[in-house]
Amino acid sequence: MKKYLLLSCLLFCTGALFAQGINFDHGTWKEVLAKAKAEDKLVFVDVYTSWCGPCKKMAAEVFPLAEVGQVFNPNFVNYKIDAEKGEGIDIAKKFGVKSFPTYLFVNGDGILVYRSGGYNPAPVFLKEAGVAIKEKHDPKPLALWDDEYRAGKRDKAFLIGYLKKRSVVKVPNGDILEEAFPLLSKEDLGNKELMDAIFAYDPNMTFVPGGKFYQYVIQNHDSIEGLIGKKDNYVLAVMDAGMFQYFNTEIIKNNKAQMLPVMLAAQKQVMELMKREEVDATLKGLTLRYYKGTKNAKKLVPAALDYVNKGLLKLDIPGKIAADKAAFQKMREPYLRGEQDSTKVEGWAAMQRIAANEQMVDLSYKLRDAAEAVYATVDDPEMLAKAIEWAKLADTYFPHFSTKAVYAGLLLKTGRKQEAIALMKVASEDGFIKGGDKQKMLLANVTQMEKGEVPEQLW
């Protein structure tokens, strides 16, 4: 304990040496790891994208602060990667980055020690740095826990410790939790520290749909919320997010067809407990997602038709349009009355565009996704023609570069090359992406189309 108190003191008493924000290294990933190993430091990695608002906010408001530099510069080798460019693509994939910004704390051997993410005010961000430093000096890092697990260690005390450790480092726990649950006593399940660890939200967390722990949560979610001091279906919402992550990373990735109906049943049960709407459309969408992810064109076609015709287009679309109109009017009232000044609102045009179509944006994107699934998987002209209609409708509901790009891709696959090129150029001029990397991607697609090539990624 004295060692960490001394370390904390040193962290905040070096202002004279580091009176600026974070200094980022600019070498290769290999060079940065070598430097960290030589200096016995962790690499702090800011994983960002060019279009990520919170990433830009951190870069503008938090990273430049002197008090942040005073901690990060002496204790870490600091590094930034764009998850959509160069080495960043492979690094983000290796560490399972799902949201932006993500902060990775990696040792010189390239082993993840800690991770966090999102926009953090300076005090929160510095607290996260403190946790990372503590994890670095832990005599039993996650790598040693992993070794013991691979060696077959499965006693209750070990599995509980392993769950907690994985939760701190923010790596998926779903399958480990299934192994541990039969060993847990009533007292274990009533342990606040353990339940806090299990239900600490992170984009990478997983829960096995329909599993043993899932069944326990379904029966006891209210009492778990009381134990950890949460409310408003927090526990169910976290489990819902974790099941979706498990669906993507385990069920789809490993083509576990037998788990698809289990996932659908679990999703339905959770949504009904949370009193969510559009349950049937959601389930149809998951089915389509599975067949797209497993590249099963034969089953994707009926799934896509079912999702769009009997799911999305059966929703109350006039009601959504009316609700958007009313909400947009209410949002604009303070500006129309002169109580607020729109010229002082950053990104006002984009904000208005989304605010005017809040519910229809979601429907538009879902139609786009259905059309894109067909583009990625199917070559049948009749089905491609249907997908074109979906993309066209999506862009009618909410004009957007992504819907136009999918529309253009489908046109290309049906032989309408010049129309496709023209529409992709229009998509590239969308104000949401003008001047950014997404615009460059769409223009690169134009070049591919002009050569008669079919782009793999449309937007």
Q: Which residues are catalytic?
A: 52, 55
Cis peptide bond N-terminal to 54, omega within 30: no
Helix or strand or coil: residue 124?
helix
Helices (H) and strands (E) in the chain, counts: 23, 5
CB under 8 Å to 224, separation ≥6 — which residues? 195, 199, 217, 235
What tokens were used for 211? 């599993």
Q: Tell how far CA 377 is from the center of its chain.
A: 24
DSSP annotation of 25: E
Helix or strand or coil: residue 48?
strand
Contact present, 136 and 222 (Cβ < 8 Å) = no
Residue 157 CA to residue 148 CA, distance in Å, equals 13
Helix or strand or coil: residue 80?
strand
DSSP annotation of 251: I
In angstroms, the Cα distances linking 9 to 30, 71, 257, 309, 447 are 32, 10, 54, 63, 56
Using alpha carbons, select from 368, 247, 258, 359 the residue that is nearest to residue 307. Answer: 368
Q: Which residue, chain included where needed, has tokens 């605010």?
A: 355
Residue 38 CA to residue 269 CA, distance in Å, equals 52
Residue 308 CA to residue 390 CA, distance in Å, equals 8
Residue 25 CA to residue 329 CA, distance in Å, equals 48
Using alpha carbons, select from 402, 375, 401 the residue that is nearest to residue 388. Answer: 375
Q: Which DSSP string do the residues of 300-327 spell out, in sequence order?
A: HHHHHHHHHHTTGGGS-HHHHHHHHHHH
Contact present, 391 and 371 (Cβ < 8 Å) = yes
CB under 8 Å to 261, separation ≥6 — which residues? none
DSSP annotation of 209: T
Residue 334 CA to residue 329 CA, distance in Å, equals 10
Residue 34 CA to residue 347 CA, distance in Å, equals 41
